Amino acid sequence: MSGRMDGKVALVTGGSSGIGRATAIAFAKEGGKVVIAARRVPEGEETVRQIVEAGGEATFVQTDVTQALEVQTLVDRTLERYGRLDCAFNNAGSGKPGKLIELAEADWEQEMAVNLKSVWLCLKYEIPAMLRSGKGAIVNMSSQGGILGVPNYGAYAAAKGGVAALTRAAAAEYAANGIRINAVSPGAVETELWANAPAGMLEQVATGIPLQRVGQPNDIAEAVLWLCSAAAGFVTGQNLAIDGGYTTSN
């Protein structure tokens, strides 16, 4: 394997399935050495297996990205194994529906922890690792929900909007150090989260998207790969909507 990530070490959180797995595989196909972090061990190890069987190099570190010590350990283990960190995709997160006035305080705090605090913790430990090398590229996972108002997902939307704002602030703080920090905001993407959706729901969603289809994990993976590559060397502080044109038409 060789390509845009030759000689680079990439870290992917939430790499056990969906967009995270697709991105980890994309990094490896382009020559990167990939560290995959997730809470689910069998699924995370399956991502490693797929990469290794295809001739790439990867390792798995079980991690709860809402816990500072575990994130610090993740980055430390990356440095111990590979000696550097060049790219990171802070992808881990989830969304729980609920009307704002019906959410319990614990639900709100969980949404903030999983979707926003986790990104801050990853930045907190990834950036010092990249400062050692004098450069790096980070992509944070925001969401179309952080751009548009989404009924019944207020806490999730607030957290993802926070990720976009945090990304801009971090990019401004560390641009002079050679570290580029961007975000991606996917729209509807066909992942395991849709497994229990009613029959025909994906097709119905697609009719409201200008490109007339929902996204695939590889659509997001390719954008993340580009943002981490030299081709995006003059791009930082941006939030890239990857939604088939939905946010431009709503």
Q: What is the pLDDT of residue 1?
A: 44
Place of tokens 């081709």: 231
Q: What local confidence, expressed as pLDDT, does residue 194 receive?
A: 73
Instruction: Indicate whether 1 belongs to any domain.
Output: no
Convert 87-107 to b/e letters by CB count within 10 Å (16 or more is b). bbbbbbbebeebeeeebeeee
Residue ranges in the chain whose pLDDT is less than 70: 1-2, 195-196
Answer yes or no: is 247 within a domain: no
> What does residue 203 show for φ and ψ, rounded to 5 degrees?
-65, -40
Q: H-type helices in the chain, by residue range?
A: 18-29, 41-53, 68-82, 105-112, 118-133, 154-174, 201-206, 217-228
Enclosing domain of residue 179 = 9-242
- pLDDT tens track for 87-143: 999 999 888 888 999 999 999 999 999 999 999 999 999 999 999 999 999 999 999
Among residues 125, 156, 174, 246, the one annotated as catalytic is 156
What is the structure's pLDDT at 132? 94
Within a domain: residue 249?
A: no
- Is 30 inside any structural domain? yes
Cα distance between residue 153 and residue 100, in whole Å: 8
pLDDT at 96: 84
Strand partners, 146: none
Q: Give me the pLDDT at residue 199, please.
A: 77
* Nearest partner of 25 among 202, 233, 224, judged by Cα: 224
Q: How far apart are CA 211 and CA 187, in angstroms?
A: 12
| CATH, residue 25 | 3.40.50.720
The tally of domains found in the chain comes to 1
Residue from 71, 201, 52 nearest 123 by CA? 71
82 is catalytic: no
At residue 2, the pLDDT reads 56
Cα of first residue to Cα of last residue in the chain, in angstroms, is 41
Rounded distance between C-alpha atoms, residue 250 and residue 148, angstroms? 8
